[in-house]
């Protein structure tokens, strides 16, 4: 069963969830290893010892978090969260955040959504 995203999901919070999952996996936490086995396609049939010995990366943890929320991948989850933010947030704040985090893909999407902001950037 999938977790539900909050009404106003925060990508930074989701990133922190993935980092926390990775840290707890590295301590061989049984619950964290179970989450990996339940949600990561490469480890769904693996024994707990195999998951414990695996060299898991942040992208593995992000995939697990995304799947726990019902998304096929981290990029799909990220795209969904960003689309919710662009629907409700101040465009200038979104541009500032994209610039600050060096997120060129989101910045391009914002320019498509808010073409009037391009003039402000040029100023």
Those residues whose C-beta lies under 8 Å from the C-beta of residue 72, and which sit 6 or more positions away, are 66
Give the pLDDT of residue 102: 81
Predicted confidence at residue 88, as pLDDT, reads 67
Q: What is the phi/psi pair of residue 55, to 5°?
A: -90, 80
Burial of 55 (0-12, 13-18, 19+ CB in 10 A): exposed
pLDDT at 100: 81
Low-confidence stretches of the chain (pLDDT < 70) are 1, 86-88
CB of 74 closer than 8 Å to CB of 101: no
The structure tokens 């409700």 sit at 88
CA separation for the pair 108, 118 (Å, rounded): 10
Using alpha carbons, list the distances in angstroms from residue 24 to 36, 52, 84, 104.
11, 11, 29, 31
pLDDT given at position 90: 79
């Amino acid at each position: 069963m999938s977790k539900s995203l909050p009404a106003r999901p925060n990508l930074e919070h989701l990133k922190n969830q993935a980092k926390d999952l990775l840290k707890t996996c590295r301590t061989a936490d049984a619950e964290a290893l179970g989450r990996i086995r339940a949600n990561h396609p490469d480890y769904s049939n693996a024994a707990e010892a195999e998951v414990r010995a695996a060299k898991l990366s942040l992208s593995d943890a992000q995939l697990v978090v995304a799947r726990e929320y019902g998304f096929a991948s981290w990029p799909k989850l990220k795209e969904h969260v960003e689309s919710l933010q662009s629907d409700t947030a101040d465009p200038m704040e979104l541009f500032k955040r994209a610039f600050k985090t060096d997120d060129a893909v989101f910045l391009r999407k914002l320019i498509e959504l808010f073409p009037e902001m391009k003039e402000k950037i040029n100023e």
